[in-house]
C-alpha cells in the first residue's frame, strides 16, 4: 500500500488542524514539536529543537515531504536538508522571503506588485527623512522575527527606534520603513500552489484586526467587484510563482480609498484568514496545503454557502475555560462550528475560533460573535 507521509515542523494550531484532512485522506502526518504539551499533540511523534539539523535529518528520513506550522526554521538548516535530496515545501528559496521582510519587499518590487512606499533604513537620519517624506509617520519593522504585531512600531520621531538601531545586526543590518497606508479595510487573498505549478485561489476575504491580531474574517469580502477579485488573484499567483511558494500562501492586503490594493504581509502556510475554509469551502486550506506539498492535484475552492464568517477566540486572561461554556454556547448557537486548540489560556492568545456559514452575512456574524462571547465567559 502506498503511504504518503507528511512531516510538519511546529505543533501549534495549524499543525493540529492539518491532522483532520490527513485522517480523511488516509495520509500519515508526523509532527516535530518543541514540547510535549503542544496543540497538535495527538499527532506529535517527535519532540525536539528545529534549529538542529541533525534532529531534523532524523525526522526527515521518516517522511516524504517536510512542511511547516511556522516560518522560523533557519534557512541554512532547510538548505542542508534540500541538498540531501529531501522535499521541503515551501522550499528554502521561498521561505527566505517570508523570514526577511526587507528581502520580501525587494523581490515584490522586482515583480512590479503594488506595495506601500517603503525603504531600507540603516541610520536614524534615513528614518527621519522617510518620516518627513511620508506625512510625519512611518511603520517601522524589524525585517526578521516579527509576527502578530510584534517587531512593528508606529514611529513619528527617529529617536523612537534608538534601541533597534543599537542592535541592528540582530535584524540583518537594516530596518524596514513603510508608509502608514490610509486604508479603508484589510483583505486577504488565500491560494495554494503545487511544486508542479498548479495554482488555485479561494474567494477574496475581508479581515478585521483587533490590536494587531486577526479578529474576524468575512468570506467573501463584502462589495468586492470582479475587477478587484481578478487583481488580488493575479497578485497571489504572481507572488507564489515569483517567489517559488508551494503549499498555501496568504497575501494580506490593504484596500486604499481609490479602491486599489497594496500588499501588507505574506504568510507561506495555512493562515488565520483561511480558517473559514474548513466549513466554508469545498476544500479547506489544511487539506489543500497537504495536497499541495505532496504535489497532489488541488481541490475545488468554491464556497459551500453564500457567506462564511469566522471569529477568533482570543484569550482574555489566563483563566479562560471555553469547554466549561460549551453547554451554554452550543445550546444557544447550534449552527456555530466551534474550534478550540487545547492551548493554555493567556491574554491575546489565539485559543480557538468559531465559523458560521449562512445565507446572510449579518446573521452569520451575529451567530459567530454570539457564540464567541459566551465561550469567552467560560
List, in order, residues 6 or more apart from 148 with CB less than 8 Å away.
212, 213
| 370 lines the binding site for a second copy (CB under 8 A) | no
**Which of 169, 225, 300, 359 is close enough to bind a second copy by CB under 8 A?**
300
| 359 counts as binding a second copy under rule CB under 8 A | no
Cell numbers of 294, please? 505532496
Report the side by side order of strands in the sheet with 138-141: 118-121, 175-178, 138-141, 152-155
Beta pairing class for 118-121 and 175-178 = antiparallel
The DSSP symbol for 266 reads E
Closer residue to a second copy in complex, CB, 161/294: 294
Which cell numbers in the block locate residue 272?
488565520
300 is in an annotated binding site: no
Based on the shown chain and the rule CB under 8 A, indicate whether residue 62 belongs to the binding site for a second copy. no
- By beta-carbon proximity to a second copy, the closer residue of 124 and 305 is 305
| Contact letters for a second copy, residues 257-296 (x by CB under 8 A) | ---------------------x---xx-------x----x
234 is in an annotated binding site: no
89 interacts with a second copy by CB under 8 A: no
Taking CB under 8 A as the binding criterion, the range among 81-89, 148-156, 252-260, 330-338 that sits at the site for a second copy is 330-338
Helix (H, G, I), strand (E, B) or coil at 202: coil
Q: Is 117 one of the binding residues for a second copy (CB under 8 A)?
A: no
Is residue 344 within the footprint of a second copy (CB under 8 A)?
yes
Backbone angles phi, psi at 91, to 5 degrees: -75, 165
Among positions 9, 11, 14, 19, the unique one binding a second copy when judged by CB under 8 A: 19
Q: Is the peptide bond before 90 cis (omega within 30 degrees of 0)?
A: yes
If one asks whether residue 195 binds a second copy (CB under 8 A), the answer comes out as: no
Neighbours of 45 (CB within 10 A): 15
Q: Which of 122, 297, 306, 347 binds a second copy (CB under 8 A)?
A: 297
Could you tell me which stretch among 89-97, 169-177, 213-221, 334-342 binds a second copy (CB under 8 A)?
A: 334-342
35 forms part of the interface with a second copy (CB under 8 A): no
DSSP H or E stretch at residue 146: none
Give the contacts of 162 (CB within 8 A, at least 6 positions apart).
124
Nearest to 371 by CA among 306, 317, 326, 341: 326
Minimal distance, residue 175 CB to a second copy, in Å: 39
Whole-number minimum distance, CB 298 to a second copy, in Å? 7
Residue 25 engages a second copy in binding (rule: CB under 8 A): yes
Nearest CA to 232 out of 209, 256, 257, 201 is that of: 201
Per residue in 207-232, is it b (16+ CB within 10 Å) or e — as a string? beeeeeebbbbbbbbeebeeebbebb
90: contact with a second copy by CB under 8 A: no
List, in sequence order, every residue forming a beta bridge with 139; answer none if it has no partner: 154, 178
Nearer to a second copy, 139 or 200 (CB): 200
Size of residue set near a second copy by CB under 8 A: 48
Rule CB under 8 A: choose which of 143, 203, 247, 352 binds a second copy: 352
Cα(52)–Cα(35) distance, integer angstroms:
15
Q: Is 354 in the site for a second copy (CB under 8 A)?
A: no
Positions in the binding site for a second copy (CB under 8 A): 1-4, 16-17, 19-20, 23-27, 42-43, 278, 282-283, 291, 296-300, 302, 304-305, 321-324, 326-327, 330-331, 334-335, 337-342, 344-345, 352, 357, 378
Amino acid at each position: 500500500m502506498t503511504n504518503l507521509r507528511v512531516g510538519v515542523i511546529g505543533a501549534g494550531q495549524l499543525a493540529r488542524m492539518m491532522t483532520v484532512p490527513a485522517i480523511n485522506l488516509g495520509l500519515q502526518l508526523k509532527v516535530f514539536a518543541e514540547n510535549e504539551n503542544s496543540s497538535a499533540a495527538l499527532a506529535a511523534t517527535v519532540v525536539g529543537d528545529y534549529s538542529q539539523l541533525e534532529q531534523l535529518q532524523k525526522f526527515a528520513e521518516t517522511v516524504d515531504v517536510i512542511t511547516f506550522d511556522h516560518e522560523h526554521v533557519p534557512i541554512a538548516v532547510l538548505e542542508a536538508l534540500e541538498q540531501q535530496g529531501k522535499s521541503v515545501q515551501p522550499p528554502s528559496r521561498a521561505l527566505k522571503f517570508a523570514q526577511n521582510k526587507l528581502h520580501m519587499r525587494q523581490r515584490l518590487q522586482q515583480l512590479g506588485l503594488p506595495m506601500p512606499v517603503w525603504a531600507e533604513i540603516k541610520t536614524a537620519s534615513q528614518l527621519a527623512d522617510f518620516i518627513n517624506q511620508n506625512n510625519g509617520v512611518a511603520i517601522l519593522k524589524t525585517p526578521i522575527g516579527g509576527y502578530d504585531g510584534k517587531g512593528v512600531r508606529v514611529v513619528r520621531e527617529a529617536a523612537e527606534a534608538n534601541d533597534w538601531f543599537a542592535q541592528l545586526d540582530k535584524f540583518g543590518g537594516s530596518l524596514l520603513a513603510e508608509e502608514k497606508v490610509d486604508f479603508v479595510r484589510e483583505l486577504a487573498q488565500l491560494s495554494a500552489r503545487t511544486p508542479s505549478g498548479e495554482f488555485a485561489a479561494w474567494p477574496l476575504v475581508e479581515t478585521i484586526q483587533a490590536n494587531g491580531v486577526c479578529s474576524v474574517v468575512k468570506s467573501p469580502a463584502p462589495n468586492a467587484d470582479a475587477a478587484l477579485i481578478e487583481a488580488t488573484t493575479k497578485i497571489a499567483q504572481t507572488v507564489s510563482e515569483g517567489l517559488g511558494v508551494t503549499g498555501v500562501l496568504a497575501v494580506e492586503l490593504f484596500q486604499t480609498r481609490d479602491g486599489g490594493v497594496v500588499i501588507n504581509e505574506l504568510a507561506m502556510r495555512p493562515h488565520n484568514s483561511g480558517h473559514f475554509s474548513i466549513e466554508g469551502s469545498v476544500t479547506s486550506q489544511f487539506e489543500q496545503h497537504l495536497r499541495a506539498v505532496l504535489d497532489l492535484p488541488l481541490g475545488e475552492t468554491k464556497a459551500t454557502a453564500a457567506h462564511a464568517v469566522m471569529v477568533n477566540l482570543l484569550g482574555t486572561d489566563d483563566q479562560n475555560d471555553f469547554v466549561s461554556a460549551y453547554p451554554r454556547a452550543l445550546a444557544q448557537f447550534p449552527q456555530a462550528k466551534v474550534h478550540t486548540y487545547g492551548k493554555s489560556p493567556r491574554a491575546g492568545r489565539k485559543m480557538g475560533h468559531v465559523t458560521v456559514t449562512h445565507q446572510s452575512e449579518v446573521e452569520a456574524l451575529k451567530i459567530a460573535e454570539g457564540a464567541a462571547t459566551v465561550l469567552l465567559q467560560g
